[in-house]
Structure 1
Amino acid sequence: MVDIPCRLPRLAVGATIASLMVTAFAHAAADGPGRVGFGRRLVEEVCGECHRVSQPPTAKPPPMQEDLAAPDLVERMRDPGITEMALRSYLQTSHPVMPNIRLSREETDDVVAYLMSLKGGLP
């Protein structure tokens, strides 16, 4: 009698890995470029001193927001005119009342991904 090894476990593992990879790539393609978590940290660090940048709203606005009337970015994301393209354009343009912040392409992708994610969490 010839002992033939069973290849079923190896095939099942391979199929599972392939399935997970396809799911991950499909999810990444649907979400577009950028990493929401990195974007949130960057927005909180760079923009959070003047703007409300995350939910839920804090009890007190950032210190400079009261003095400068800096827009609430969470609220601004309610505007249907705020699109990915509009955000990218805004981030590449200097503004007189804001510091001149230069972001790399990857940082811009992350910031845009985070801000666009706020649209999904709004009522």
Structure 2
Amino acid sequence: MVDTPCRLPSLAVGAIIVSSIVAASARAASDGPGSIGFGRHLVEEVCGECHRVSQPPMAKPPPMQEELAAPDLVERMRDPGITEMALRSYLRTSHPVMPNIRLSMEETDDVVAYLMSLKEGLQ
């Protein structure tokens, strides 16, 4: 009987590398975490009922924005104190007049990327 080296570890490593590449490609193709596109979609879906969340301004503000005096997020991004760190902290804190929305870390990355892109567009 001839001893042959076990190829299982190298096959496992190869499989891990291939699956990582496939996952990274899928994520890149889907506009992954920290994505302005995902962030815009999420902000429009979750926040857009109460807040103005995109440029150019809509013909009229969202119905709830006037009723609840919800801040215009586009205008709020003009404030130099609104930084990436401030946004992350705000998104992780519950607020009495808002629904308790829980975002995953990836969703938070996306929302922050989108809101910071608004800030860049306002300069």
Aligned position for 2:58: 58
Partner of 1:73: 73
**2:68 & 2:98 partners in 1: Cα distance?**
10
Find the counterpart in structure 2 of residue 115 from structure 1.
115
Distance 2:122 2:111 in 1: 18
Deviations 1:91-115 (CA, angstroms, capped at 9, x unpaired)? 0000000000000000000000000
- Paired letter, 1:43: V
- The correspondence of residues 15-94 of structure 1 with structure 2, limited to 5 A, is 34-94=34-94
Q: What CA deviation, in whole Å up to 9, does each residue of 1:21-69 have, x standing for no partner?
A: xxxxxxxxxxxx6000000000000000000000000010001011001
Aligned residues: 91
Q: Which residue of 1 aligns with 2:95?
A: 95
Matches of 2:66 and 2:91 in 1, distance apart?
Answer: 23
CA distance in structure 2 between the aligned counterparts of 1:85 and 1:122, rounded to whole angstroms: 19
Deviation at 1:120, TM superposition (A): 1.3
Shift of the alpha carbon at 1:119?
0.9
Gaps of 5+ in 2: 1-32
User: Structure 1 unaligned runs (5+)?
Assistant: 1-32
Instruction: Provide runs of 4+ in structure 1 moved above 2 Å.
Output: none
* Cα separation, 1, equivalents of 2:56 and 2:106: 26
Q: Percent identity?
A: 90
CA distance, structure 2, for counterparts of residue 66 and residue 95 of structure 1:
18
What is the Cα deviation at residue 121 of structure 1? Answer: 1.0
> Cα RMSD (Å) of the superposition?
0.8
Whole-angstrom CA distance in 1 between matches of 2:43 and 2:95: 17
TM value normalised by structure 1: 0.73
